[in-house]
Amino acid sequence: MSFDLLSEPIRKFIRDKGWEQLRPIQNAAISKILGSDENFILASRTASGKTEAAFLPILSKLNFNDAGVQVLYISPLIALINDQLYRVEELCKNLDVTVTKWHGEANKTLKDRLIKQPTGIVLITPESLESMFVNKPFNVKQLFSNLKYVVIDEIHSFIGTDRGIQLKSILSRLQRVNSKSFSIVGLSATIGDYNEAKRFTGDESKTKVLLDRTAKEINALFRFFKNENEDLPLELLKDLYIETKDNKVLIFPNSRGRAEEVAVKLKKISDRVKGHPNYFSHHSSVDREVREYVEYFAKNNKRHNFCISCTSTLELGIDIGSVDEVVQIDATHSIASLIQRVGRSGRKDGERSNLFLYATNQWTLLQSIACWLLYKEGFIEPPEKNENPYDILVHQALSITKGHSGVLLTELIKQLKENSAFNLIEKTEIEEILQYLIEIDFLEKLQNEVIIGVEGEKVVNSLEFYSVFKTEENFKVINAGNKIGEIPFSPQITEDANILLSAKIWKIKFVDQKSKKIEVIPTKDGKKPMFFGGGMVVHQKIREKMFEILYSKTEYDFLDAPSIDEIEIMRKNFSIFNIKDLQNERPLIKNNSHLQLFSFSGTRINRTIQLLLNISGIKNTLDDNRSLFDIEGTKQELITKWNYISFPFTNIDHHISTLLENNPAILDFSKWGIYLPKKYRIKLIINKYFDIEGTKELISTTKLISN
């Protein structure tokens, strides 16, 4: 039995906790981790005890009297580190093991103590680890040269992202300073491609996946309230209030502005009918201390009901105790996101999860149904593959050079080439990129060595350097000396205008452009603030499922009557097309000299089709939410050009070069891409923004069926 394999202090911890038995993922992990030094990915649903599954065997196995930090726990969020600190400390209570959290907001005295006497377990974010490599390279060696385990929480949030490539690179750099290689344990509830997860560790052959397929029962109910204008319909808000007033609830709208609108309006309804006052908003623009209070209130409040209107800040595993219901307003952009959100409710053993989904237009309703059906089929989007992350290579080249206070150019090339994050980038490509960094004075060459150049210093010495993702330029919002949060500056930020923030309504009294501060006072009425979020990328499979639903006769028992009616209207509208082959036929509406083409394709394919239409001189606009192209011209003109539309592929680099010149903002998805030679900027756009191969296949097989 796996319990008997654990060390006595850990067995005592389990007995003290009164656990009757270990969870499936814990049983599997204990025997495997204790029995080998391989890497493991622990995959099981939310709240199934993955943190304990990793730490019970690791704490039993290691000798914490050995010199140096023994375990590094890496998390995507500072809030998750603060949360997990207590769990890990509790696990260590019968052991003499120091647990230290290390991030920008952590206690400096405890960090200094760790540097003087490296020991135990460290909890950290990738950005803080990057900062250590840049500013304290000697400490990195001293702290981590005897590291045995790296535990990566919510590993799916890194795989296939720029931040994940940065982390993969840092892990590769950590292996270099290590006396012998350490093992990696990744934890996740939503992995879409296990091979990609294994590759993430840097050694696919030495990585095993432990998978607990135990599914959670979910009650799902979909409701439809047609929205005619920008704000949510009052009927929806009233229904939402009645549905949630007697429960502990998380509501996920799809934007920060919408989250504020929901929190403020539900609280207004509650005040009017003498309901509970516990309505909060939780997102990246709400002040950290306010967010931490909301988390603390939710976790430690057994008696009072509450409602938190939040974004993805509460999607990952921050423990906020038991939640009765999860509400999603309009469709999530991914199934992975839906799974994470639903997993927040019914966290106690045997409890069902309750999901309410409110749709405000027919297309978000259709997308919600598609996501739900794909989730039931067990589909999760595979991560985006980015085998040539040239932009992150720029960042890591600067980081290594700065950390070494100068390095031989040949050594820098060698380190980048041997790094598992960049091993598919050719040596000649690395040389070209470094040469360009020398030309733009990001690096300076002194004989055989490179140091950070004058222009490079400005970038490397900024606090923004350690992250590979862009951050908004925000104004601090202050009331009577207390910070409420931060919001991006927009035309609506003027004196006497009202804004919503932190689930309250404020009147702007003064805007200080110089110090980027907004003074506010409480007021009674206001508009939701404008937040500029980037558009979400939707996977091809979701759009294909939406198309399938329109041509299916299936009735869904999770829909309310208005939802059923709305889907029937859509099915009727699309029945005018004689579609026989969902794989290869697409609907085309013709009105005189105007066409509407529904591609039912993923976001990246839609962008590519639009690029090709533009190159072919076909005037068009794209509504990606509906996969709809509005096209000027006749059907004959489009059909003629459709057959030739794929010819620009032969000269795609030239077309994207022109696009980049006319619209430099297309590269905004990459923080470091602007420091690449032009040819690599083009490659980056082709690899990450468009989907050339998918579009080629679609165009070569698609037949347009008109009304």
DSSP structure class, residue 179: S
User: Per-residue pLDDT for 354 more than 90?
Assistant: no
Write down the mean pLDDT value for the chain: 91
The verdict on 187 and 291 lying in the same domain is no
Whether the per-residue pLDDT at 134 is higher than 80: the answer is yes
Same domain, yes or no: 462 and 478:
no
Taking only the tens place, the pLDDT of each residue in 193-248 is 899 999 999 899 999 999 998 777 788 999 999 988 888 999 999 999 999 999 99
Q: Is the pLDDT of residue 643 over 70?
A: no
Check whether 435 has a pLDDT greater than 90. Answer: yes
Band (587; pLDDT cuts 50, 70, 90):
very high
pLDDT digits (tens, 9 = 90+) for 83-126: 889 889 999 988 989 999 998 777 888 988 999 999 999 999 99
Per-residue pLDDT, averaged over 285-302, amounts to 89
3-state SS class at 468: coil
pLDDT at 317: 65
Q: Of 284 and 601, which is predicted with more confidence?
A: 601
Cα–Cα separations (whole angstroms), residue 165 to 202, 397, 403, 615: 11, 13, 19, 33
pLDDT recorded at residue 347: 58
Which residues face 508 on adjacent strands?
Answer: 520
CA distance 270 to 263: 11
CA dihedral (362, 364, 367, 371) positive or negative: negative
Task: For residues 408 and 117, give the distance between their C-alpha atoms in angstroms, rounded to a whole number.
Answer: 32
Q: Which band of pLDDT confidence, cut at 50, 70 and 90, is reported for residue 534? A: low
Residue 297 structure tokens:
């209130």
The secondary structure of 639-693 as a DSSP string is: HHHHHHTTGGGGGHHHHHHHHHHH-GGGGGG-SSGGGS-HHHHHHHHHHHT--HH
The 10 Å Cβ neighbour count of residue 663 is 10
Q: Domain check: are 423 and 509 in the same one?
A: no
In 10 A of CB 396, how many CB atoms?
Answer: 26
**Are 124 and 74 in contact, with CB atoms under 8 Å apart?**
yes
Confidence of residue 490 (pLDDT cuts 50, 70, 90): confident
Helices (H), 222-333: 234-244, 256-272, 288-300
Amino acid 350: pLDDT: 57
In a domain, 484, yes or no: yes
Mark which of 418, 433, 466 sits at the end of a domain. Answer: 466
Whether 384 is in a domain gets the answer no
Residues 122 and 227 in one domain: no
Hey, how many other C-beta atoms are within 10 angstroms of the C-beta on 445? 14
Global confidence as pTM? 0.91
Q: Is 544 inside any structural domain?
A: no
Structure confidence by residue, pLDDT tens digits, 161-196: 999 999 999 999 999 999 788 999 999 988 888 999
In a domain, residue 156? The reply is yes
Q: How many CB atoms lie within 10 A of CB 270?
A: 18
Please state the rounded mean pLDDT for residues 311-317: 78
Query: Would 424 be classed as within a structural domain?
Result: yes
Compute the distance between CA of residue 312 and CA of residue 456 in angstroms, rounded to an integer. 33
CA distances from 405 to 171, 274, 399, 417, 444 (A): 20, 64, 10, 20, 12
Name the residue type at position 593. Answer: S
* Number of domains comprising the chain: 5
CA distance linking residue 456 with residue 701, whole number of Å: 48
Domain boundaries, position 486 = 474-522
328's tokens = 């999603």
Q: Does 555 reside within a domain? A: no
**355 and 424, same domain (yes or no):** no
Task: Indicate the Cα dihedral angle 646, 650, 654, 656, nearest 10°.
Answer: 40
Q: Could you tell me if residue 439 is inside a domain?
A: yes
pLDDT-derived band at 495, boundaries 50, 70, 90: confident
CA dihedral 333, 339, 344, 345 (to 10 degrees): 110
| Residue with the larger pLDDT of the pair 250 and 319 | 250
CATH assignment at residue 412: 1.10.10.10
The per-residue pLDDT for 47 is 75
Evaluate if residue 510 carries a pLDDT over 60: yes
Of 177, 211, 245, the residue that ends a domain is: 211
401: pLDDT strictly greater than 70: yes
Task: Name which residue leads in pLDDT, 314 or 18.
Answer: 18
Convert the pLDDT of each residue in 9-60 to its tens digit.
Answer: 999 999 999 998 999 999 999 999 999 999 999 998 877 889 999 999 999 9
pLDDT (mean) for 499-503: 88
Residue among 426, 424, 430 nearest 393 (CA) = 430
For residues 230 and 204, state if they share a domain: no
First and final C-alpha spacing in the chain: 66
Q: Is residue 344 part of a domain?
A: yes
Same-domain pairing of 9 and 69: yes
Check whether 140 has a pLDDT greater than 60.
Answer: yes
Shared domain for 227 and 94, answered yes or no, is: no
Q: Are strands 207-211 and 39-43 parallel, antiparallel or unpaired?
A: parallel
Instruction: Provide the CATH number for the domain around residue 326.
Output: 3.40.50.300
Claim to verify: residue 249 and residue 162 sit in the same structural domain? no
Do residues 610 and 514 both lie within one domain?
no
Are both 461 and 492 inside the same structural domain? no
The answer on 604 and 657 residing in a single domain is: yes
Q: What pLDDT was estimated at residue 351?
A: 65
Task: Give the domain-ending residue among 376, 405, 435.
Answer: 376
What integer is the mean pLDDT of 126-140? 94
